[in-house]
Structure 1
Amino acid sequence: MTDVVTPPSSPVSRERAREIKRMSVISTARQVRVLSRAELTELTGLSPATLTPLVRELIAEGYLVERGTAASRSGRPRTMLEFNPRAELVAAVSLEPSRISCEIADSDGAVIAHRTARIGSDIVETVCTFVPELVGAALPSLRGVAIAAPGVSSGGAVRLAPSVGLVEDRPIGESVRQRLGVPVVVDNDVNLMAAGEHAAGAGADVDDLLLLHVADGVGAGLILDGRVRRGAAGAAGEVGFLPLDGQERGYDGVGPFEARWSENAIAERVVALRPGRRPAEAVRTLVELADTEAAAADYLAEVLEAWARLIVSCVCVVDPGRVLLSGAAAQLDDAALDRLQDLVATRAPAATDVRRAVLGDRAVLHGAVSYALSAAATHQSSPS
């Protein structure tokens, strides 16, 4: 009889397996918030012998806090554990025209520190200065950084973002990661908005959606099967480059569609309709003017027609099921939104629900939290 020799298990494999179990406990506690050890055992599938040292470790690290006792089915009191969102901090950095903002938030999306400044010549240096200063003594709890930038992002590099001085590829993600030592995710700002609405907003109940954001430009964030889709070169959702006819081309990083139907373009037309100062909310002002002025009503109809055509074009390709209007597009009143919905419904090949996004300026933050925590989990569970 031949003896079968079992090779010793790899220490790296054992460590990775333990980290996966640890992340399972953290993820479960983050989702349920308050639970007992018995419930953790049931939800994670881990044995009490495996779970006990992990829970002890997570209590010592501040992830879990003991919160008194509660009765169990057997009548015996059991100690309850509560997840501490402050044990996981993320930095959400937004690159905007002429300024950079940085927020430090916990895993609930609660902001604990914030700073805004003008964009300088070195974005990486600014980020790597802001984040440690804002986190302060809680730096060991920093799990990741998410950077939102207008333009195209691929592999941590940003291009076609002229409003923030990034036209050619700039590897800001890797540069920040090397300096701060935590996972860094760089993505288009509208992708982060879509991720935020999917995590905590008007798309939390669906797995497929398209977020249409109208601001200085026009962009879209696409989520299919619960995941943000970026495309082969990171340019998925650059709907501002939709050609209006066969002759038009983008210029200086601005697409032909957004050159005509962005908030900037609409604001210029509103000023022409009612001379004076540029309106702070161009679409809302246009809707109000349309109630009393025929020229404004005609122009509003043109805007809705253009946006509907854009939405239907996207629906024909990806069938998102739900379209969320963000930025200036969310300023439509109920009547205008209903008109846009009708235009889409009569032309789209599949049922498409058009509604407003609900998180507003907080969408990027919630998306950043989702991105950073996901990146941190992937980093911790991957082989070293």
Structure 2
Amino acid sequence: MTVRPENEHQARLLALLRDDGPRSRAELGDLVHMSRSKVAVELDRLTELGLIENAGLAASRGGRRSGIVCLATSLRFVGIDIGATSLGVAVTDGELRVLGHVSEPCDVRQGPEVVLGLALSLIDGLRDRGLMPAVHGVGLGMPGPVSFREGVPVVPPIMPGWDRYPVREVLGRELGCPVQVDNDVNIMAVGEQHAGSARSVDDFLFVKIGTGIGCGIVVDGGVYRGASGSAGDIGHIRVAESGPTCACGNVGCLEAFFGGTALVRDATAAARSGASAQLAARLVEAGELRVADIAAAASAGDVAAIRLVRTGGRRVGQVLATLVSFFNPGLIVLGGSVSGLLGHALLAEIRSVVYRQSLPLATGNLPIVLSELHDTAGIIGATRFISDHVFSAP
């Protein structure tokens, strides 16, 4: 069983050491506004618990030199990022530095036993490389609605067989440590907040455009999940009275018009109709199209591919313009595989719509940017997520 801090003072000290690195005992006392004797008591107890260790002596501040402490070098957190078509696993130290990261193609529709079995196999592989003497906690994100309190997915549209599967319980039993489970977009938002563009922003939106579309909402520095955990599911906002049927069963959802699945569908139709010679040639060559093919065609000036990107960007921008007027965020970060591949062409279209349609007071100082973390946002967010849990007082 993972050892955790015993009180709020110890929790604050651990968070400081995680976020700022090794500190002298004197510095920590100044930062948490505690007497030197009180800090010494709490740090000694954390040492006894195996959560921190000594790391030499600090420079003199006049008088006796203060000892430097750091998080225990044996601390290990695991992040698992389950996507619709891929699975990533990483191990970090206590300061959330990535020590090893592996990923494999994986179809989430294969079901929880197969997908979680692969995750455990990848964790075993990292352990075999000597990267984790023990696992102190696991954070996991998945592409569907999650009951955060129970640690289970709830009727996820693209995940047959996963409904109410006890993910947290199963992984906790297999690995013998605390496990936290959340929607992948919330996890990615936490990653951006910890190490990405949102490090100094308390109120922002993280928009993931991948196979589908979702939004992580951060309010006053914390993820907002709503009453039941479904906040931010913007892919299922209705943007048209008619149109393609969405994976959720409704008609006219944003995700049914744009996102990886919809983009490939429309590009394939353009290739077969003769609207795009470049996409048609690629379809013949590979047998199927991918988002990377559409991005390459758009970059090469293919009119049909450019039209698909612009049309999708406008639809996303229209939804975000409404959210900006409602929520007034300080930042919007675009992430996910489709955003990463389409890059600035998609970003420019979304910016244009949001800045044009939202009120000037809401957009006057609103950056809209691409994620700096790319495909590591979920991994970093998952380990930050579980470390917050492990480093919190009971």
Q: CA deviation at 1:80?
A: 4.1
Query: Structure 1 residues 338 and 249 mapped into 2: Cα distance closer, same or farther (>3 Å)?
Result: closer
Match of 1:243 among 216, 238, 241: 238
Contact 1:286-1:300 within 8 A present in 2 as well: no
Query: Structure 1 residues 96 and 299 mapped into 2: Cα distance closer, same or farther (>3 Å)?
Result: closer
Match of 1:26 among 5, 11, 14: 14
Residue 148 of structure 1: aligned partner? 141
Q: Which amino acid aligns with 2:335?
A: S
Contact 2:335-2:370 within 8 A present in 1 as well: yes
Match of 2:266 among 266, 269, 284: 269
Q: Distance in 1 between matches of 2:28 and 2:179?
A: 30
- Structure 2-normalised TM-score? 0.79
Q: CA deviation at 1:244?
A: 2.8
Match of 2:52 among 49, 60, 63: 63
Q: Distance in 2 between matches of 1:294 and 1:283?
A: 11
Match of 1:106 among 58, 74, 93: 93
Residue 284 of structure 1: aligned partner? 295
Query: Structure 1 residues 371 and 305 mapped into 2: Cα distance closer, same or farther (>3 Å)?
Result: same
Q: CA RMSD in A?
A: 3.1
Residue 328 of structure 2: aligned partner? 319
Verify: 1:369 aligned to 2:360, yes or no.
Answer: no
Give the strand-richer structure, 1 or 2.
Answer: 1
Q: Which amino acid aligns with 1:353?
A: P
Q: Distance in 1 between matches of 2:46 and 2:144?
A: 39
Query: Structure 1 residues 152 and 336 mapped into 2: Cα distance closer, same or farther (>3 Å)?
Result: closer
Query: Structure 1 residues 267 and 18 mapped into 2: Cα distance closer, same or farther (>3 Å)?
Result: closer
Query: Structure 1 residues 286 and 230 mapped into 2: Cα distance closer, same or farther (>3 Å)?
Result: farther
Provide the secondary structure at the position in 2 that maps to 1:86.
coil
Specify the structure having the higher radius of gyration (Cα). Answer: 1
The range that moved more, 185-194 or 270-279, is: 270-279
Query: Structure 1 residues 224 and 296 mapped into 2: Cα distance closer, same or farther (>3 Å)?
Result: same
Verify: 1:175 aligned to 2:175, yes or no.
Answer: no
- Deviations along 1:112-137, whole A, 9 cap, x unmatched? 34455656762556656654674578
- Deviations along 1:30-49, whole A, 9 cap, x unmatched? 33323322222222233333
Query: Structure 1 residues 222 and 91 mapped into 2: Cα distance closer, same or farther (>3 Å)?
Result: same
Verify: 1:81 aligned to 2:68, yes or no.
Answer: yes
Q: Distance in 2 between matches of 1:148 and 1:37?
A: 36
Residue 286 of structure 2: aligned partner? none
Query: Structure 1 residues 43 and 105 mapped into 2: Cα distance closer, same or farther (>3 Å)?
Result: same
Q: Distance in 2 between matches of 1:353 and 1:371?
A: 25
Query: Structure 1 residues 335 and 150 mapped into 2: Cα distance closer, same or farther (>3 Å)?
Result: closer
The range that moved more, 40-49 or 59-68, is: 59-68
Q: Distance in 1 between matches of 2:384 and 2:215?
A: 18
Larger RCO, structures 1/2 (Cα 8 Å, 6+ apart): 2
Q: Distance in 1 between matches of 2:161 and 2:326?
A: 29
Contact 1:208-1:225 within 8 A present in 2 as well: yes
Q: CA deviation at 1:311?
A: 1.0
Q: Which amino acid aligns with 1:343?
A: V
Match of 2:372 among 348, 358, 370: 358
- Give the paired residue count: 361
Provide the secondary structure at the position in 2 that maps to 1:197.
helix
Contact 2:15-2:391 within 8 A present in 1 as well: no
Contact 1:33-1:82 within 8 A present in 2 as well: no
The range that moved more, 159-168 or 357-366, is: 159-168
Identity of aligned residues (%): 22
